[in-house]
Amino acid sequence: MGLAARILKQDPTGEFRHMIHDEVDKWVDQIIDEVFEDGKEPTVMELSQLFSETKQKFFGACFQALIEQKYAGLLEQEYAPCPQCGKMCKKRRSNLKQMVTMHGPSVLKRPWFYCVDCSYGFSPLDKALEISRKKYQFDVQKKSTRTAAEVPFSSGSELFEELTDHPVSDHFIHDTFEEVGEYACLEDVIPSQEEITARCQGVNENSWRPVLVVASDGAHVPTRPKAKRNEKRGKGRWQEAKGFRIYLLSKDRIVHLASWHQIQNEEQFGEDLSFVASRIPQADLRIGLLGDGADWLWKHMVACFPKGRQILDYFHCAEHIHKVARLQYGEKSQKCLEWVESTITRLFYAEVDNVIWGLQRMKPRDTLAKKEIRKLIGYLQNNRERIHYRGDRIGGYPIGSGGIESANKFICHTRMKRSGAWWVKETGNEMLGIRCAIYNGTYNKVFEKYKKSQIPR
């Protein structure tokens, strides 16, 4: 080693600067070739394209140079303690690690050790730098998973390359998504108790306790059984994704607390809701429970929030009334409109018994109308105690679950119901989990858990 080299060796920042200057020179040479030769006059688009093509290599090399200087000690290590038993092990060989980050490709030549006692091979650099076993590093994995949560895997791959200049296959996006999805469990997707408490305190703006809304609903998702390789796909069927959204009503806005949707049965729904309820400071809040007439949802909401005010979703209720009016009086007839209006007004003033009495005296136009009238009577009788919209309004409670409807649309329909998309239950639930995490602001936490599981010990 010459004197100059030795001096540089003792000055890692100087050497880093030196290496970067080399890379800049290489890059400038490329640009000069492409731009300044033969009277070329590239446009903005063409220059941008040139930068896209060259920046990966340039930044990838800078990235590599930085690691080589900063972690020189680990790259030149001859002995390292076994992470399992602590025994000193001698370097066996140098292994090449090809990796790609959002900034381009880099190659690291790092030492590899093997402990005979533990039959365990390890690379201390991988642990220190949190290098993924995959070629594409965690920064790429995080963004590609985020992309796949919004668009189908195949277009996700195209879109990703289009926007980042990284060709990432749809298989990679799909497989990574499934691996991250395993960590999108209820415990981490729902904000912590401290976070929820802080959001609750944030809306405490007058002497009344703030209103917490728990809105539950089901949405149908197209599913199919998991097929083995070379096996015909099984018959598809629609299954219900049961879910809830919990939010706070503040003076002029909705403060979101938590959303959770899964393709699951009602017992599991009940367990999940109960888990989330345990993170909520119920005593400091007034609680409104919103839902349509489905029995399973009321059973669990009431069990988890025993002091909650039960409110039959106004929009679902109005839908039933419109249906009867259409069948009985004909679509958009004057009589139809009048009857709807007066019925809804009565319900608004909690005159449920009056409405039921009127329905019982109604002479059905035909058998179809008769059937719907009978259904509506049953529906109102079942939900009698949950209809008090005027009182709800006065108390500052919501009367319609617009909140859950839009959460359902956002979380389920936009990604789950694309034409031709059929979901294996497990993947469907991972998709719902990750989408809920994004919506709840907990995606970083979920991804961190996944990342931890992937880093060598």
In the complex, the residues that contact Zn ion under the rule CB under 5 A are 82, 84-85, 87, 115, 117-118
- Taking the least distance from each CB to Zn ion, the nearer of 82 and 359 is 82
Cα–Cα distance, 321 to 334 (Å, whole number): 15
The 3-state DSSP class for residue 260 equals strand
Extended beta strands in 202-250, E state: 211-223, 237-249
Residue labelled with tokens 């140098």: 94
- Taking the least distance from each CB to Zn ion, the nearer of 80 and 212 is 80
**What are the C-alpha distances in Å from 151 to residues 59, 78, 158, 160?**
29, 47, 10, 11
Sequence-separated (6 or more) residues with CB below 8 Å from residue 424: 223, 224, 225, 226
- From the CB of 191, what's the least distance to Zn ion, in Å? 40
Query: In this structure, are residues 221 and 295 in contact, taking their beta carbons and an 8 Å threshold?
Result: no
- Taking the least distance from each CB to Zn ion, the nearer of 113 and 160 is 113
- Taking the least distance from each CB to Zn ion, the nearer of 100 and 115 is 115
- From the CB of 76, what's the least distance to Zn ion, in Å? 22
Q: Which helix (H) or strand (E) holds 416?
A: helix 414-416
- From the CB of 118, what's the least distance to Zn ion, in Å? 3
- Taking the least distance from each CB to Zn ion, the nearer of 84 and 360 is 84
Q: Which two tokens stand for residue 6?
A: 């030795």
- Taking the least distance from each CB to Zn ion, the nearer of 84 and 154 is 84
Query: In this structure, are residues 85 and 121 in contact, taking their beta carbons and an 8 Å threshold?
Result: no
The 3-state DSSP class for residue 149 equals coil
- Taking the least distance from each CB to Zn ion, the nearer of 114 and 422 is 114
- From the CB of 96, what's the least distance to Zn ion, in Å? 24
- Taking the least distance from each CB to Zn ion, the nearer of 12 and 81 is 81
- Taking the least distance from each CB to Zn ion, the nearer of 3 and 116 is 116
- From the CB of 89, what's the least distance to Zn ion, in Å? 7
Query: In this structure, are residues 100 and 135 in contact, taking their beta carbons and an 8 Å threshold?
Result: yes
- From the CB of 122, what's the least distance to Zn ion, in Å? 9
- Taking the least distance from each CB to Zn ion, the nearer of 76 and 117 is 117
Sequence-separated (6 or more) residues with CB below 8 Å from residue 123: 95, 97, 110, 111, 112, 113, 456
**324: burial class by Cβ within 10 Å (0-12, 13-18, 19+)?**
buried
Of 276, 278, 304, 275, the closest CA to residue 291 belongs to: 304
Q: Which two tokens stand for residue 172?
A: 């990679």
Of 191, 294, 207, 314, the closest CA to residue 247 belongs to: 191
Sign of torsion, CA 389 390 393 397?
negative
- From the CB of 87, what's the least distance to Zn ion, in Å? 5
- From the CB of 452, what's the least distance to Zn ion, in Å? 22
- From the CB of 94, what's the least distance to Zn ion, in Å? 21
- From the CB of 132, what's the least distance to Zn ion, in Å? 24
